[in-house]
Structure 1
Amino acid sequence: MILFISDTHCAYHLINEQIEYAQEELAIPVSCVIHLGDFGIFRPQLYDFFIRKNGSFLKPVYFIEGNHEDFDAFDSLMKKYNNVYFTYLSRSVVTEIEGYKFLSLGGSAYMDAMTTPTASVIKDHHIDDCLEIHSEGVDIIITHDCPQGIGVPNSPGLEVYGQTGFARGDELARHFSPKLWIFGHHHKWFELEKGNTRYLGLSGSRRGFALLGENYECMIINHHIPFKKPSFLSKALTFLRILRPNGPSH
């Protein structure tokens, strides 16, 4: 089965912990992982997990970008880490994984300059590029943000940003009529059947994941992973790093 997860925000270990839960506690084999954005593409955290600690994922991981990545360094970080530790699925591209044809569209609608850097914003040309793809060439759409107009509620305090989701998603739905459309970003579970499409929104990576099997059978798995309190040693080392930062600049 394909495991879908979203919004790890640099807590890469959560991917392995959710894989282990699926395989060991639920006895469900996982073939690969598709991460739906806010993976945590930041130089210090990537270096710490993959290089300094020699970390790796238990299964192949594919990801699309969210709105919380280091877009200034994104291309250079992809040259170093992409196709080595994980695989980046770029925007408006179809990739076949486990027999399904996935259309990937990372990024999100614009909110403000802090939460949505310019490079993260989904623009008209991304939608246009998607619509150039043959209507029968896509089985499942995967995005970080949801499409506008499907009723995903705003989080408390974010109502000022207006309707959730990015514009022109309805054009993609009409063009491709996908069986599934899976997204993250909003940190809440969401499910809707509309036309021929089942929309599925994932909560944060600490709250669970989704599993996709044959014939588009997709189920939500609630599995909460609590935050671990840092040890005294960890706190002391963090304090020393603040006083005398010596992290790598790789």
Structure 2
Amino acid sequence: MLVLGDAHAAEDPDNDDALLAAYDDADADVALQLGDLQRYDLPAPTWFVGGNNEDFDVIDALRAGDSPEQVSNAHLLAGTAAEVEGLRVAGLSGNYAPTQYDKPRSELSGERRRHFVREDVEAVAALEDVDVLMTHEAPEGLVYYGYDAGCEHVTRLVEELDPDLCLVGHHETHREATVHGVRAVSLAPVWQCYYRLDPETLELTVRETPNGDD
């Protein structure tokens, strides 16, 4: 199974090339992606969480169960779960903004649609038997910039759902930690590397993206 960090595919043609190169090199049947995707016509079925840099009209359509014409093989996980190669994969889309968190999602507009709100977190918390939790925002105890960059609401989901693995985007750096007994991994961006996940063992291996930057 292919696993991909942030892509930012619409912002730079080189990023888009790197995204497609990762799919081609991995030759995987399915993929997981951790947000800031920006390209929604993909070479293989891909389950992703929305990031804070997306086409939010597309994301809203996918949240509503619609399928815009520019979408192919892209499946949004936003407070939902899916069975992917025998794994139950759950996803929380968006990043955290304290000023928006307690608003109904219906009140978010424009770029504010990039955030998750309380109702999104509660939807994920209600899921059961989660093997892999995907989030764009990190839990506490994983990514540091002289301070803990994690979010308490994501930490809560890790603790309550107790998945076997938590995969994180957004920070565009590879970090690993154990958070409430759960292995958590922050992924490097696609233009640097891609990952392969063994669905049976949950072993995660890293491979350099062809023509990617170091």
Q: Tell me the CA shift for residue 112 of structure 1.
A: 9.9
Distance 2:99 2:180 in 1: 32
Counterpart of 2:130 in structure 1 is 138
Q: Tell me the CA shift for residue 224 of structure 1.
A: 5.9
Matched to 2:161, the amino acid is F
Matched to 1:117, the amino acid is E
TM-score (norm 2): 0.78
Question: Are the structure 2 counterparts of residues 100 and 70 from structure 1 closer, same or farther at C-alpha, using a change threshold of 3 Å?
Answer: same
Task: Establish whether residue 67 from structure 1 lines up as the match of residue 52 from structure 2.
Answer: yes
Question: Are the structure 2 counterparts of residues 224 and 112 from structure 1 closer, same or farther at C-alpha, using a change threshold of 3 Å?
Answer: farther
Distance 1:61 1:87 in 2: 5
Distance 2:96 2:58 in 1: 21
Task: Establish whether residue 123 from structure 1 lines up as the match of residue 143 from structure 2.
Answer: no
Larger Rg: 1
- Count residues with an aligned counterpart: 195
Counterpart of 1:22 in structure 2 is 26
1:180 alignment partner, one of 155, 160, 165 = 165
Structure 2 gaps of 5+ residues are 10-14, 101-109
Per-residue displacement from partner, 1:197-247 (whole Å, max 9, x unpaired)? 1111111111101111122122222336347xxxxxxxxxxxxxxxxxxxx
Counterpart of 1:201 in structure 2 is 186
1:37 alignment partner, one of 35, 38, 53 = 35
Structure 1 gaps of 5+ residues are 24-29, 51-55, 228-250
**Aligned residues of 1:109 and 1:165 also touching (Cα < 8 A):** no
Other structure's SS at 1:175 match: helix
Moved more, 102-111 or 70-79: 70-79
Identity of aligned residues (%): 22
Q: Tell me the CA shift for residue 110 of structure 1.
A: 2.6
Quick check: which one's strand share is greater? 2
- Alpha-carbon RMSD across the aligned residues, in angstroms, is 2.8
Per-residue displacement from partner, 1:74-126 (whole Å, max 9, x unpaired)? 435863247x512222311111100000111111123999xx93111122221
Distance 1:193 1:61 in 2: 26
Quick check: which one's helix share is greater? 1
Distance 1:60 1:187 in 2: 23
Other structure's SS at 1:200 match: strand
Counterpart of 1:9 in structure 2 is 8
Per-residue displacement from partner, 1:60-85 (whole Å, max 9, x unpaired)? 22222100012245435863247x51
Distance 1:69 1:31 in 2: 24
Other structure's SS at 1:9 match: coil
**Aligned residues of 2:158 and 2:180 also touching (Cα < 8 A):** no
